[in-house]
Amino acid sequence: MSTTTEPALTQDEVMPEPAREERPEQSRARYPDAEGFIERDGVRVFWESYGQGEVTVLFLPTWTLVHSRIWKAQIPYFARHFRVITFDPRGNGRSDRLLDPEAYDEREFAQDALAVMDECGVREAFCVGLSTGTQRGLLLAAEHPERVSGLVFVGPMFPISPLRSLKARLARRFADALATRPPLTTRGWGKYSPHYWEHGGYADFVQWWADKMLPEPHSTKQIEDAVAWSLDTEGKHVAASVRGSALATPPTRRAQRALAERARCPVLVIHGTKDTITPYTDGKALAKITGGKLETVERAGHLPHVRKPVQANLAMREFFEPAPRRDPTVHRSDGRKRALYISSPIGLGHAQRDVAIARELRSLVDGLEIDWLAQDPVTRVLAQEGERIHPASEHLANESRHIESESAEHDLHCFQAIRRMDEILINNFMVFHDIVREDRYDLWVGDEAWELDYFLHENPREKRARYAWMTDFVGWLPMPDGGDHEAYLTADYNAEMVMHIAGHPELRDRAVFVGNPEDIVDERLGPELPMIRDWTERNFEFSGYVTGFDPRGLGDRDELRQDLGYRPDEKVCVVSVGGSGVGGDLLRRVIASFQDAKRAVPGLRMIVVAGPRIDPESLPQPEGLEVVAYVHNLYRHLAACDLAVVQGGLTTSMELTASGRPFLYFPLRHHFEQNMHVAHRLDRYGAGRRMDFDTATPDVIAGAIAEEIGRPVDYRPVETDGARRAAEKLAELL
């Protein structure tokens, strides 16, 4: 074996990965610690290794149709506890493409698994197989029992029932005919035709197959993934794999049973009751024959580990590590109340208001201890405030970094970016679950902690404490240029939210909207769904807005300016884009306006706040301009300034509104929250001047600065007791 030698290509048996249109790689929750290739008989197979530990989990490849990214909801979780190894199947991912059907014999896949284990220095592993991966897993356990600690089968392809066995025998008998003749129909199962795949029908089949694998409602993202992974290879390679597996799979029920009976190791079968690819009855039979445990996933299709990852992950974790855990329901002897606070890391606004709410909550509940599950940049605020950050926070996948990776020049398709954050969200929920599995809390608070709310509703049995949910907007909304498809997707996400709340109204012990009913947009959640305000009023309580500070507590503005080092004769303009790194383009555009603005505004002092995730050294710094990094309690500077130039985020704009300061705001293109929810709220307060980044050239910005700086404003007052009101609602749960 070798990780460097190029394979010798002979005839058309081994094909390199085909050229294809490049798609941006979705951010991963965890990247491999090591990767490489094994080579067998001139065929290279790509592998990845994650984590470390005495126990190794080997995720076997399934059908050549998809590659090892099919395990993305499992890898980060298990890599925190064990060593995890994956490899791409022959014909997809970064492994070689093959046209010889014999190269796809199940024994070849089993030998690939052994070679990968050898390359990684692993003697023995738990092997996890999905669908056709069952056959290679059984082969490994039967022929190399010393290498297999246990077997997990997800949606197993185990044709033991009479009908399934007959189909398998027919597929074996007519493999050549299916490969060389066009199907009688290309509707339904007629699409399952190697000839069709090789003659222009592969993409059509892929979409149909993905829909069939994922019949659960609201599976749009998972279906998109399955289609994308399938299109990472070509129909001819998948056709070759079908011919090879048809020749290699045990052809009779008796042969299937005999193979399963040779597996003497522990077995876990995970199967969905709505699986139309591999029947649930076959999974039950496999569990019975092997003496294994059956984990039934109600109403799930062929990919329960994808669509119901929490249940699948927990079942596998118990199988790999059955040792008893400390009971988190046991109360501490000192009787003090404890809360776990999860604050959204996308920007700094949530941190500011959550610290204010926590401060009020402690004043209402004697001796309350609060642990924070948080990540950068929220942790910077918490550290400055002396809050206690849970050490498991280091295992969170960074959401802000993902959002930044999705942005372009002042452009962030927020809805799509959050959809593509699914791998990060399941990782972060499993981090949360590890914490509450080990320790007891009396209250969980999630401020726009989307993963917490979503997966608790998907798995209500995992709720072990009182739970409060907070948000300042409700409803995903499509951008106008997204067309009918985006309108469908946002409505589908909203429909799932409505379904969750209707199905488990008891799960949220408190749902707090940070604002007032009038702050909610006059839009519908989707066709045949409620109006957003009506639905929110039925399902939320309102705290009023939470600024995180009381402007009256800042004292006299002239004294504040003097305390911050601003002279009376200066016109101070603060430029800030919040806690993410998305706003770099706006900062550069405003910096480019500085010289013109300075000529138009005598005494102008412009201070650019790069924030915690933008390197000040990466920005232009013309003479006279001040560029600083993260500024703690920036709201004090905003209250003292004569003008602010900001992005379209809610927190900063509402801080300026509460302080009565003029400001220009530039919503990010395609950011539905800034363009719709935030803009609606600012319109209600009569606050700010909205600017269009596309038309705001440096000279236009300079002119707007000159017009707005120091201008008297008449905004609607912002309440100052929002943090107290929110804390009172949370305190009732303690």
Nearest to 718 by CA among 663, 634, 661, 633: 661
Q: What is the pLDDT of residue 329?
A: 54
Side by side, the strands of the sheet bearing 443-447 are 388-389, 369-373, 338-343, 443-447, 466-471, 510-513, 541-542
Nearest to 647 by CA among 598, 614, 618: 614
pLDDT at 104 over 80: yes
pLDDT one-digit tens code per residue, 28-71: 999 999 999 999 999 999 999 999 999 999 999 999 999 999 99
Does the structural domain 554-708 have CATH classification 1.10.40.50? Answer: no
* pLDDT more than 70, % of the chain: 92
Report yes or no: 339 and 443 within 8 Å, Cβ to Cβ. Answer: yes
pTM here is 0.93
Residue ranges matching CATH 3.40.50.1820 in the chain: 32-161+256-320
Report yes or no: 293 and 322 within 8 Å, Cβ to Cβ. Answer: no
Phi/psi of residue 16, nearest 5 degrees: -70, 165
| Better-scored residue on pLDDT, 632 or 431 | 431
CB atoms within 10 A of CB 288: 13
pLDDT one-digit tens code per residue, 450-503: 999 999 999 999 999 999 999 999 999 999 999 999 999 999 999 999 999 999
pLDDT at 18 over 70: no
CB atoms within 10 A of CB 245: 24
pLDDT one-digit tens code per residue, 530-585: 999 999 999 999 999 999 888 888 999 999 999 999 999 999 999 999 767 788 99
Nearest to 149 by CA among 117, 125, 133: 125
Residue ranges matching CATH 3.40.50.2000 in the chain: 338-545, 554-708
pLDDT one-digit tens code per residue, 634-685: 999 999 999 999 999 999 999 999 999 999 999 999 999 999 999 999 999 9
Q: What is the pLDDT of residue 143?
A: 96
| Cβ contacts of 311 within 8 Å, gap of 6 or more | 295, 297, 304, 459
pLDDT at 319 over 80: yes
| Cβ contacts of 212 within 8 Å, gap of 6 or more | 276, 277, 301, 302
Peptide bond into 377 cis (omega under 30): yes
Take residue 252 and report the two structure tokens written for it: 């009779």
pLDDT at 5 over 60: no
pLDDT one-digit tens code per residue, 328-368: 555 555 789 999 999 988 877 788 899 999 999 999 999 99
Q: What is the pLDDT of residue 23?
A: 44
Take residue 17 and report the two structure tokens written for it: 């990965």
E strand or H helix at 152, and its extent? strand 148-154
Take residue 578 and report the two structure tokens written for it: 């919040």
Report yes or no: 475 and 521 within 8 Å, Cβ to Cβ. Answer: yes
CB atoms within 10 A of CB 28: 16
Alpha helices in 365-463 (DSSP H): 378-384, 399-405, 414-419, 422-438, 450-458
Alpha helices in 583-697 (DSSP H): 584-592, 594-600, 634-640, 650-659, 672, 679-685
Report yes or no: 614 and 591 within 8 Å, Cβ to Cβ. Answer: no
pLDDT one-digit tens code per residue, 583-627: 899 999 999 999 999 999 999 999 999 987 889 999 999 999 999
Give exposure, 127-156, as e/b (b: 16+ Cβ within 10 Å). Answer: bbbbbbbbbbbbbbbbeeeebbbbbbbbbb
pLDDT one-digit tens code per residue, 632-644: 889 999 999 999 9
Nearest to 371 by CA among 383, 384, 387: 387
Identify the burial level of 254 via C-beta atoms within 10 angstroms of its C-beta, where 0-12 means exposed, 13-18 middle and 19 or more buried. exposed
pLDDT at 372 over 60: yes
Give exposure, 380-404, as e/b (b: 16+ Cβ within 10 Å). Answer: bbbeebebebbebbebbbbbbbbbb
Three-state SS across 292-318?
CEEEEECCCCCCHHHHCHHHHHHHHHH
Amino acid at 385: E
Rounded-to-integer distance, Cα 161 and Cα 252, Å = 10
How confident is the model over 406-425, as a mean pLDDT? Answer: 94
User: Whose structure tokens read 């609602």?
Assistant: 729
Amino acid at 140: L
Residue 84's DSSP bridge partners are 50, 57
Q: Classify domain 32-161+256-320 by CATH architecture.
A: 3-Layer(aba) Sandwich (3.40)
Q: What is the pLDDT of residue 171?
A: 55
Nearest to 268 by CA among 319, 197, 334, 344: 319
Q: Classify domain 338-545 by CATH architecture.
A: 3-Layer(aba) Sandwich (3.40)
Rounded-to-integer distance, Cα 116 and Cα 49, Å = 10
